[in-house]
Amino acid sequence: MDVRHTDFLEKAAVATYDYSGYKADGSSCRGRIEAEGAKEALRRLADAGVFAESVRPLRASAPLGAARRASIYRELGALLGAGLPMDRALGLMMESEDATVSSALASVLAGVREGRWLADSVASACAGMQGHERAALAAAEHSATLPAMLPRVADILDSQELVRDRIRSALVYPSFVLALGIVIACVMLGVVVPRTSAMLADSGLDLPAASRFAVAGAKAFAAASAALALAGLAAVAAARRAAARSPERAVAIDRFLLRLPFMRAAQALAGMRFASTLSVLTGSGMPVVEALPIAGSGTGRPWLGRCVEEQAEAVRNGRSLSAAVAALPHIGRELGDWVRVGEAGGCLGPMLDVAAGRLQREWDRALSRRLALLEPAILAGVGLFVLVLALALILPVLGMTRSLGAG
């Protein structure tokens, strides 16, 4: 082994720990120490005269987002697939990442060296880790399929990030137009209308009845829109608070929302997440009965998660997986046939991946259709509002100009 590899292994073996405790004189102390494990850190602290109360691996200073975790999984899977042991692969990754990721990887490495599972080490080092993500890692580690499963877990996280980015980018333009319309309405009603009315009053004229009606209607429309917006925000906040306090209320609210006619995009998205998560979990060696509830929670829909739990119990009692999936509301019709084909041909994972791809395309089309209706509706509403106010103010001014010209 060359010197470079020896230096690398020595560096990879060292992790950073946060500690707190007391010195021999009774004063409290806290700090950080580098060691090859928690036991080594305790020994070194004792040699330094520090009685440690707690020694914990240094955690990342900020939560790692799904995109960063996906990058870690993909790189780790490639290194493990190349034959590197876990500790060496993590140490190599620490050298090429920024401070935040390196700190998180140091905590993961420390946990692995202490004998913990990779899934548990990642969960303790990276805030924001999802339940199905952790379950997939644990199942893959138990079945010795980590090199193959890590890229698939990364694919799920990347897909979720793409969905979020797609939604955010799709809402930028409508949000901008709506905000611009609100600003224009405030300027027209708060500045232009009062000044025009004052100018006409100084000239001994009043706004015509039609103009007064248009202005009053615009003000009523603006007030009603503001009240509806505030009521909507209050309702969303109340629903979120109720869902957080009671799982039963969360299920009831989600059931109501998914039954609304314009929620097809959300249904397709939930089906895509269910299929892709179930594919990864079963591919990593997890039994179907255990994988189903985890995949259900991965949809992000409490009601669907509850329905999946009920069908998992039915599968445990002898029901076929295809029949159980077909019985799921909103997503069973699309997924049931694919699961049936996968069961019959012994290729459940690939069929679930195909179904997830189809549902993702359906979600994209449904979202595009909704946005295609939303954007012109907002433009038309803002344009009509401004046009009515402009005509209500311009026509009296033109009439006054004609009167002065005739005089």
Q: Transcribe 220-236 into DSSP letters.
A: HHHHHHHHHHHHHHHHH
Helix (H, G, I), strand (E, B) or coil at 305: helix
Confidence of residue 231 (pLDDT cuts 50, 70, 90): confident
pLDDT of residue 142 exceeding 70: yes
Helix (H, G, I), strand (E, B) or coil at 23: strand
pLDDT of residue 60 exceeding 60: no
pLDDT of residue 153 exceeding 70: yes
pLDDT (tens digit per residue) in 296-315: 887 888 888 899 999 999 99
Half-sphere exposure of 379 (CA within 13 A, CB side): 8
Q: What is the CATH code of the structural domain delimited by 66-144?
A: 1.20.81.30
Distance in angstroms (rounded) separating the CA atoms of residues 386 and 330: 41
Confidence of residue 16 (pLDDT cuts 50, 70, 90): low
Distance in angstroms (rounded) separating the CA atoms of residues 235 and 113: 49
pLDDT of residue 177 exceeding 60: yes
Q: What is the CATH code of the structural domain delimited by 3-57?
A: 3.10.20
Please name the residues in contact with 141: beta carbons below 8 A apart, sequence gap of 6 or more: 117, 118, 119
pLDDT of residue 12 exceeding 70: no
**DSSP H helices in 97-130:** 99-113, 118-125
392 or 295, which is more confident: 295
- Quick one: average pLDDT of 3-10? 34
Cβ contact 304:270 at 8 Å: yes
CA angle 261, 265, 267 (to 5 degrees): 80
pLDDT (tens digit per residue) in 187-202: 777 777 777 777 766 7
pLDDT of residue 211 exceeding 70: no
User: What per-residue confidence (pLDDT) applies to 210?
Assistant: 64
398 or 164, which is more confident: 164
124, two tokens: 């303790």
Distance in angstroms (rounded) separating the CA atoms of residues 264 and 331: 10
pLDDT of residue 6 exceeding 60: no
pLDDT of residue 273 exceeding 80: yes
Distance in angstroms (rounded) separating the CA atoms of residues 268 and 356: 9
User: What per-residue confidence (pLDDT) applies to 204?
Assistant: 64
The structural domains of the chain, with segments of one domain joined by +, span 3-57, 66-144, 145-407
pLDDT (tens digit per residue) in 80-131: 988 888 888 888 888 777 777 888 888 888 888 878 888 888 877 777 777 7
pLDDT of residue 137 exceeding 70: yes
User: What per-residue confidence (pLDDT) applies to 59?
Assistant: 53
367, two tokens: 């979202």
Instruction: Out of 203-212, 238-247, 327-336, pick the least confident.
Output: 203-212
User: What per-residue confidence (pLDDT) applies to 30?
Assistant: 79
Distance in angstroms (rounded) separating the CA atoms of residues 119 and 138: 5
Q: Letter for the amino acid at 375?
A: E
